[in-house]
Amino acid sequence: MRAQKWLMTILATGLAGATPALSQTIYPINRAEILEGSRFDFKVEFPNAPTSADVKVTINGKPAADIFGKPTAFTQNEEGQKHSALWLRGATLPAGNYVVEATQGANKATVKWEVFATAQPRRAKNVILFIGDGMSVAHRTAARIMSKGWEEGRFNGELAIDDMPNMALISTSGSDSIVTDSANSAHAYTTGHKSCVNALGVYCAKNALTLDHPKVETISEVIKRRSKMTIGVVTNAEIEDATPAAMVAHTRRRSDYNDIVKMFYDVKPDVIMGGGSPNFLPKTTPGSKRTDDLDFIAQFKAAGYTIATTKTEMNAAAASGTKKLLGLYNTSNVDGAFDLRLAKKGSVAKFPDQPDVAEQTRAAIDMLKSNEDGFFLMVESGRIDKYSHSLDWERAVFDTIMLDNAVKIAKDFAGERNDTLIIVVPDHTHAVSLVGTYDDERPGQLLRDKLGTYADSKAPNYGPLDADGYPTNVNTSRRLAVVFGTYPDTCDTGRPFMDGERVPALKSADGKTNVANEADCTGPLATRKAGNLPFDANSGVHSGDDGILTAMGPGAEKFRGHKPNTYVFRVMAEALALGGE
């Protein structure tokens, strides 16, 4: 009888598991935290293409146009699709709490926003945001062991990224998924809004074209519009890649590199450094990746920028007092510290005079610091992530040490000034752990025979450190055992890849799935591993684990406990007092 009653209840409530009714979608989304006076596109999408007479939108009980002080626009069958849309581009709001209701017949959708003010006077003159792309706890721990040493349970020094007074756990989920990509996670830091995978500076609506989605203002745009501060963007990835692009871009598709270059030109950060030169060159130039005749090298020159293509040129520009620099040091990503210093692989032979992230940071600060109104500098160590995707942990950890050296330069600049907020944070994490050490002296012929855990995890015997804290030999008899939790079919060797970045898997004969790279499967300790990722994966993937944020300077005390990634934007905006009409 009870089962029959349960069944009747299910039938009466509309069949559990049936497709839910479509509902209105409001952008910005529910629980958005919006900087007072920052610009955003307000959009409501209505399913089934109703007319304007069939819908109603209110904010705090009043017509939306009354609250914004501007008329909204309504489009039935937007872009020929089966929905209608109400828009207001470039909306702003004063501080307060807002309830937005969109009514269509009997259906009502509701979202709530908090528009926050920022107190005056401004607390920080400068903000330096360091992003270790994909940097996880194991990267930090391994970097500390490799660059500081370990003895009798204690480290022989602290990393600059660890030695800060404030710390918080940062969660990085996007609006559409638990595990983020680098685009919408960096977007959270630079806009304060959540968005979806592959999105930069936009919410993910139904628009067909990638540049038409509802936009939200980036911190670079707010700073340029409201202050005389200077801005720097530094990375060792391609400058159009997700994290640096998040400083300026508005696109639903992070791979819109040609559009992103134009967006860099539109915003004009004062210092721009990274790789990725082909998207700046007109299509008639050999090696160009543009599809038009625009020459952004020439346009930046005409706008007063010095162009640098090598470390020598970068240092000369900084020494000469240059205030505007476009530095493009590689046609792709700038090589990481492991190849620049030790292995000399990657593209080092082709580009022998590339600066590393620490050297770029020093030059950027030298060029920005003379501005009496202060500066905002974003620095990314982008290849921690890329090397973690390829399961090449030694290269990832070398780039963690490089990030640490860059942070030390910033801390030395900040010194006793007490006017510079420094934040170090990953945009997401990887499933990576330090589980012991491999010791070639242990008996047995298999890689797992060489793994020492617990009492057998003895200190590694890496070569002596160079002046910048990098071990000069990592292919030694006792090495850290760092393992990844996600991988395709692959083979482990338990040794660093001295002949070039690891390629864990290759495309199979069917052209769709991936198989282990047999080049890694024939060495003395090579161990074949069946992948735990879908068969179309050829590398490791991001994790949804929290990241560690450390910070110092005015405003840093607000970082404690657990925070969402959007909170980083809020702290920076409050420190710089960026709010206001």
Q: Tell me the C-alpha distance between 180 and 196, whole Å.
A: 8
389 is in an annotated binding site: yes
542 is in an annotated binding site: yes
66 is in an annotated binding site: no
Question: Apex CA 434: angle with CA 432 and CA 439, to 5°?
Answer: 130
Instruction: Decide if 221 contacts 250 (C-beta within 8 A).
Output: no
Q: What is the 3-state secondary structure (H, E, C) of 110-139?
A: EEEEEEECCCCCCCCCEEEEEEECCCCHHH
Instruction: Decide if 207 contacts 79 (C-beta within 8 A).
Output: yes
Q: What are phi and psi of 13, to 5 degrees?
A: -90, 10
DSSP secondary-structure letter at 155? E
Q: Tell me the C-alpha distance between 520 and 289, whole Å.
A: 33
Q: Among candidates 545, 496, 551, 427, which has minimal Cα distance to 146?
A: 496
* 38, 182, 277, 381: the active-site residue: 182
Task: Give CA torsion, residues 221, 227, 230, 233, to 10 deg.
Answer: -20
243 is in an annotated binding site: yes
Q: Are strands 271-275 and 325-328 parallel, antiparallel or unpaired?
A: parallel
139 is in an annotated binding site: no
Q: Tell me the C-alpha distance between 285 and 268, whole Å.
A: 23
193 is in an annotated binding site: no
For the chain, state the CA radius of gyration: 26
Q: Tell me the C-alpha distance between 451 and 494, whole Å.
A: 9
Cβ-based neighbour number of residue 440 at 10 Å: 13
Tokens at 73, concatenated: 């626009």
Catalytic annotation present for 171: no
187 is in an annotated binding site: no
Q: What is the DSSP string of 375-394?
A: EEEEEEETHHHHHHHTT-HH
Please name every residue paired with 132 in a beta bridge, in sequence order, or none if there are none.
381
- Alpha helix (H) residue ranges in 233-344: 242-245, 257-267, 296-302, 311-319, 337-338
Q: Tell me the C-alpha distance between 386 and 562, whole Å.
A: 26
404 is in an annotated binding site: no
Residue 13 CA, distance from chain mean position:
43
Cβ-based neighbour number of residue 320 at 10 Å: 9
For residue 478, give the 3-state DSSP assignment: strand
427 is in an annotated binding site: yes
Residue 14 to residues 19, 21, 73, 433: CA-CA distances in angstroms? Answer: 10, 11, 35, 47
DSSP secondary-structure letter at 277? G
For residue 326, give the 3-state DSSP assignment: strand
Query: Which CB contacts under 8 angstroms, 24+ apart, belong to 104-108?
Result: 104/24, 104/46, 104/47, 104/50, 104/54, 104/55, 104/56, 105/50, 105/54, 107/21, 107/23, 107/24, 108/24
Q: Among candidates 445, 444, 473, which has minimal Cα distance to 460?
A: 473
Residues of the binding site: 133, 241, 243, 380, 385, 389, 427-428, 542
Residues of the binding site for Zn(2+): 133, 385, 389, 427-428, 542
Residues of the binding site for Mg(2+): 133, 241, 243, 380
Q: Which residues are catalytic?
A: 182
